[in-house]
Structure 1
């Protein structure tokens, strides 16, 4: 087996284990908490997401990706990144602590002030193990990350549920978040048995910042846009409406976000090793693209069709206001893996300047769509997000041919068969589920029918992505 194939399989498996075990625990805990807490409790945390997300991006400064991409990394590189991450996290915490009263006044929720001040502590704690994760990702070691993340998520999740049962309300979510950060730090330190020595090296800083600074700006633009919906909905509508939106967004993005994250984490370090060989880079890139969409398209289409029984069974009737929002948002996330893999190509080639340029263009369009769609309520805003998802994918594809010989049309042809088959599967699921009135039977028969139909047709048509998956499986056991 080639070293690239071996690393891809091993990295993908452990990244998938880490991601889905982590997200599986968080998903299950989230379901339990959603039944114990109210939509407004989740809405309050959603109001703070934009501030925490932006601060976290400043804390990282793009150094993690810079460390992963570098061909050689020294102890001084790790130490410099660690020191700056920590100092920036303290500064960000101080800023959020100071502006908390103004944020609470903006939303007209006095209790939000203390919630924001306490939950901001996670920034400092997270900064203490950011470099640990970058070091493991650089080594394509997702097994260790899997152990740490899963353990922290499980224990902190149980802690949050206990607090919710005791009537702590929104504070259940706050203390769960802090507990998760503390446990991650402790477990990473124990498993890795390594801690970077804080230092500042001018050469290391320039090397990391020259690449990471552009990623910092592009990540900031993306994060502001992503969380702008929470800000606008929280101000224009009610905390309950925001709760519906955040749950719909979470459920609809769960499959796409996780598959995209797994592929992004695995492909970036591996493609980075092929950055000077365009022929191999193209071959590996096409395989990643086909396999990711073969997996994610049916998941998103199926989730859209099965949105009603999924929400009613998992969250209960009180969350029915999220059903239509979730169905629409499934289409805003369906192309996320395509976007991420295309962006990874630019990272691999060291063109973080193009990533920044793309973000400026895309988010200008996105903000126009956001403020245009506001007049049509929550449904209109979700439709706008879905429209932007397709536009963003098209724009990301435009730069691919500059580095490898693959046009937009070439990429579309690679994905078309999986998309058409997924739509057909969605139609079959809809026909079958309508034979039953019970939500449980609709969900069960829909899932079984969809899986059977999709893979049976893919096998009969001898679709290339399925062949690639079978080859990877055979190589793993070879």
Structure 2
């Protein structure tokens, strides 16, 4: 098979898909961010602390189920109705089981956190599993066929409606329940719209003879997702035991703000990248080429976003969230500094998954968990700032270890990967210096301060990156115009 199609047809398909997903994200997130910040101003750190503690278990179960079936359906080339019927049966059984498990564990988890409200939240969230069972196959088929226009419209509709309902409930003094019911509504609406767009009009089969290989692959991915969830949530789980709800609420909001750019950009890339890599899974050289290219372009694009936000977070939080969230400024800034590394590490996932290197990914996660567990247990004893410093001190070490392992598997020289960071880091450091110099010129209006600092930071980064890595700038522009290779 020649490389012509991957370098032309697939590239154009990927770019079209990215544009649709990006458009849907931008339209949705502009409104949702505005509403989210509005809601944060209304609610208290305790409200967010309780929801964050409850989300540790419910989010853990959701991520297991999302990995168990979707990737297997996307990767399998010879799908037929018999296979889909058997998958549907397995999906119904597993989602029903997790509904019962979460409902039963609600009381013990509440006892661990010493909060009866956690139990009530978990029992309400459990109902999501029964709705999500009817979304899995339609959503996987939409992704497999790269029909991201429909996916974007569904996500935009459900997110916007749920965000508006959350705001109305917050204003009506529902407190943390506005967050709980808003998320439940989002899931229900997304399931209904996805099913109507790509209906699975057949009865489930509870046999497994045609899907055993898919289930084995899905189980491995679920184990991987479980470990990843432990890795990304053990800070709240450990901190929730050692810190007060208000402290964990400050940290949770800081983490939410720090992760916001990654949560909006990474799913966009992952959603398109895995089906694209799956189509060229037998062409290792081409995958290696695209892995380096994606790393280089994404680091150059995301680092100024994270570091730029870190440089102005002392203005952003008081302006958007209010003075009661001042305690989240330092933890947020610290977390934002390491976000480019977290973003880069996750970029390896779609390529490794397309090559079925799940065991390799499992070892990577075990390394990360071991490194971070010790650091988090120490940092959590010093409040929200200590918890953030735990990430800053330990994550770079874990990243270097797993990036070196990934470069060997993907045949991407480790020194070339490290070189991807040098121009953006230098340009980013210059940007930080310029922003902090501008902070000495203070206006009485916070919004004006923010605009000036963003303008200076953005122009500084663009000028410096163009001096340090002009070729990557030209490559990025060519890719946007759909003329790159």
Counterpart contact for 1:25–1:150, Cα < 8 Å: no
| Correspondence 1:92-241 to 2 at 5 A | 92-195=98-201, 197-241=203-247
- 2: CA distance, partners of 1:432 / 1:151: 40
Query: Which whole-Å deviations, capped at 9, do the CAs of 1:285-321 have from their partners, x for residues lacking one?
Result: 2221111111110001111111111111110101111
1:474 corresponding residue in structure 2: 481
Q: Secondary structure in 1 aligned to 2:276?
A: helix
Q: How big is the shift at 1:350?
A: 1.2
- 1: CA distance, partners of 2:63 / 2:430: 40
Equivalent of 1:281, from 276, 287, 294? 287
Q: TM-score, normalised by structure 1?
A: 0.94
Query: Which whole-Å deviations, capped at 9, do the CAs of 1:133-181 have from their partners, x for residues lacking one?
Result: 2212212222111111110111111111111111111111111111111
1:457 corresponding residue in structure 2: 464
Q: How big is the shift at 1:351?
A: 1.3
Q: Which moved more, 1:227-236 or 1:31-40?
A: 227-236
Structure 1 unpaired stretches of 5+: none
Counterpart contact for 2:37–2:320, Cα < 8 Å: yes
Q: Secondary structure in 2 aligned to 1:306?
A: helix
- 2: CA distance, partners of 1:326 / 1:280: 38
Distance 1:146 1:307, change over 3 A: same
* Residue 375 of structure 2 is aligned to residue 369 of structure 1: yes
Counterpart contact for 1:342–1:396, Cα < 8 Å: no
Q: Which moved more, 1:385-394 or 1:444-453?
A: 385-394
Counterpart contact for 2:64–2:223, Cα < 8 Å: no
Structure 2 unpaired stretches of 5+: 1-6
Q: TM-score, normalised by structure 2?
A: 0.92
- 2: CA distance, partners of 1:259 / 1:169: 29
- 1: CA distance, partners of 2:78 / 2:337: 40
Counterpart contact for 1:263–1:292, Cα < 8 Å: no
Q: How big is the shift at 1:248?
A: 0.5
- 1: CA distance, partners of 2:437 / 2:384: 28
Counterpart contact for 1:345–1:400, Cα < 8 Å: no
Q: How big is the shift at 1:372?
A: 2.7
Distance 1:325 1:396, change over 3 A: same
Equivalent of 2:62, from 42, 47, 56? 56
Q: How big is the shift at 1:421?
A: 0.8
- 1: CA distance, partners of 2:230 / 2:166: 28
Counterpart contact for 1:339–1:392, Cα < 8 Å: no
* Residue 414 of structure 2 is aligned to residue 408 of structure 1: yes
Counterpart contact for 2:231–2:365, Cα < 8 Å: no
Counterpart contact for 1:263–1:337, Cα < 8 Å: no
1:247 corresponding residue in structure 2: 253
Q: How big is the shift at 1:184?
A: 0.7
Counterpart contact for 2:250–2:384, Cα < 8 Å: no
Q: How big is the shift at 1:201?
A: 4.4
Equivalent of 2:44, from 38, 41, 65? 38
- 1: CA distance, partners of 2:442 / 2:63: 47
- 1: CA distance, partners of 2:237 / 2:407: 37
Q: Which moved more, 1:342-351 or 1:303-312?
A: 342-351
Distance 1:98 1:400, change over 3 A: closer
Equivalent of 1:444, from 437, 446, 451? 451
2:321 corresponding residue in structure 1: 315
Counterpart contact for 1:325–1:382, Cα < 8 Å: yes
Distance 1:207 1:441, change over 3 A: same
Question: How many residue pairs get matched?
Answer: 477
Distance 1:411 1:143, change over 3 A: same
Distance 1:420 1:462, change over 3 A: closer
2:349 corresponding residue in structure 1: 343
Counterpart contact for 1:60–1:85, Cα < 8 Å: no
Q: How big is the shift at 1:467?
A: 1.3
Q: How big is the shift at 1:22?
A: 3.8
- 2: CA distance, partners of 1:196 / 1:297: 47
Distance 1:408 1:461, change over 3 A: closer
* Residue 305 of structure 2 is aligned to residue 299 of structure 1: yes
Counterpart contact for 1:335–1:393, Cα < 8 Å: yes
| Correspondence 1:376-387 to 2 at 5 A | 376-387=382-393
Q: Secondary structure in 1 aligned to 2:205?
A: coil
